[in-house]
Structure 1
Amino acid sequence: MQTLIINHPMSDTPLSDADGVMALGRAWQLGDAHFSTLHASDGQLHHWHYHQARLMEACSRLQMPMPDWQAVHEAALAAMEQAGDQVLRITLVRGTGGRGYSMTGCGATTVVINCAPFPGHYYQWRQQGIALGVCEGRLGQSSLLAGLKTVNRLEQVLLKAELDAHGWPEALVLDSNDQVIEAVTANLFWREGERIYTPDLSLAGVSGTLRAWCQDYLGSRLTVSETGLERLLAADEVWLTNALMGIVPVTAIGERRFAADFMITRELQLAYEDTL
């Protein structure tokens, strides 16, 4: 894995190890950072503008200074290999300074770029679909952070442990009010007849970049809605999305099995591939 740490204004030279530890201080002490994970292939970043929009929204909501986005984009392109599939993670950390929780006196935002191998099994998932479990663990509600992808991922760490214990490839996650929110690492959509739905993420969950693309593509065909598990189990079609796994059809949730035509899933897959 390659890691690059750069301060704003952007520089081509990574920080020293000691400076890098200091720059990341608020991330490991307070979780005061957010990130986006991209699929990169053959020297191209997939849907960069959606990732930039997500990072910009998080900076605004967290009152974090914006970096130089053109320089971030150039640094991301420089960090990855020019052939094959890769995973690129861009993390923005509030600058050093301040005292305790206070933002006062914090410097410019630090940008951290990691490049790692791509999980090849996601291509199989897209074609064959996967079966989901249902996690017993519940997401807490937080209107301050809902929708954002901050580095505070301990809920997901515990939920992933539940996945591993059951041997599920993925699983649904509900909130403390028993509303279906998402999967452990992906957003969720479902179809009832001709209507398409995705959960309301105003109090919990992460609003992903591929979810945003689906919202743009589907337009008025899509409704954001609260849903309990029983309603989801009665759906005609269910699928998951995230920037790495892509658009993945769901073949079953527990004992409930779904038809294998994947009608809307296949439409979305074809349309998404055309925009890369």
Structure 2
Amino acid sequence: TIAIDHGKPLLWNQHMERLLHGCHTLKILFNDASLLQDEVERLIKSANNAVIKIIITRGSMGRGYAIQGGVYPSRILILTAWPDYPADYYQNGVDLCLCHTPLSKQPALTGIKHLNRLEQVLARAEWDTEYQEGLMCDEQGCVIEGTMSNVFLVKGSGLLTPTIDQCGVNGIMRQQVIEYAKKKDIPCQETRIPITMMQQADAVLLTNSLIGIWSVRKFEKHLYTGSKIIKTLQELLGHAYPKP
């Protein structure tokens, strides 16, 4: 899922690197990023601010789980309108709930953005409009990610983010935050985060390629104050996330 800002796909190279890595992991024989770029450029030619979703499937095959030869992958490109998130989400933060649906561990699929989102679908069904995002944990009760976002905790002068080695998606904006934190000498540690640490954090932020960075105003009944680190990261990544 790629943000289109003034007719330009943001963080294209990073998205392509992850997409091709995912295809390789899933043994989908596709590696033509230039073909996708040509198709995307034609599709967004008249778009200003929008969203493009790229789906690569193995292609049309018969029944069964065996990977058949002689099948060329299918490419699906979907252009949709820019999400109409309220400016308040960016300025004052969002409310976050704890989902009861756990994420299953599968190291072979960890990090990639595959189409098996059933756990996220079930988790998202746990609330209506009273929250803007839901926090998902693994079966041991450690924080992994949101239903549509990655998670960072602000603790003191540094950041903590869940280790993505057993389950979860290594989001593009997550990678950007880690990279920018290093450039600005902001300590950023990938580690196990028990759910109890959520209330011990000074602040919490959520990231993905469309929301950019949202600060969390409230997690369940716990309120957070603002964070200079979050404001700094929002300013640094201003070129790479949508404006309200």
TM-score w.r.t. length of structure 1: 0.81
Aligned partner letter, 1:197: L
Question: Structure 1 residue 173 and structure 2 residue 136: aligned?
Answer: yes
Verify the 8 A CA contact 1:138 1:173 in the aligned structure 2: yes
2:188 is matched with: 222
98 and 144 in structure 1: CA distance in 2 versus 1, 3 angstrom threshold: farther
Map of 2:176 onto structure 1: 213
**Does residue 38 of structure 1 match 2:2?**
yes
Q: Distance in 1 between matches of 2:203 and 2:121?
A: 28
What does residue 236 of structure 2 align with? 271
Change (3 A) 1:79 1:122: farther
SS in 1 for 2:55: strand
Computed over aligned residues only, the root mean square deviation of the Cα atoms, in angstroms, reads 1.7
* TM-score where L is the length of structure 2: 0.91
What are the residue-to-residue correspondences of 1:5-16 with 2, within 5 Å? none
Moved over 6 A (4+): none
Separation in 2 of the partners of 1:58 and 1:139? 19
**CA offset digits 1:159-208 (Å, max 9, x no partner):** 111122x7311121111111111111100001111121110111111111
Match of 1:120 in 2: 84
Residues 112 and 246 of structure 1: is their aligned pair in 2 closer, same or farther, counting only changes over 3 Å?
Answer: same
Listed as ranges, the gaps of 5+ residues in structure 2 are none
Which residue of 68, 79, 94 corresponds with 1:104?
A: 68
Deviations 1:58-106 (A, max 9, x none): 0121111124211201211211253432110000111334651111315
Are residues 247 and 122 of structure 1, via their aligned partners in 2, closer, same or farther at CA, if it must alter by over 3 Å? farther
Paired positions, count: 238
User: 2:123 aligns to what SS in structure 1?
Assistant: helix
Secondary structure of the corresponding residue to residue 259 of structure 1: coil
Distance 1:122 1:87 in 2: 17
Q: CA deviation at 1:227?
A: 0.8
Change (3 A) 1:70 1:225: same
Distance 2:195 2:58 in 1: 38
- Listed as ranges, the gaps of 5+ residues in structure 1 are 1-36
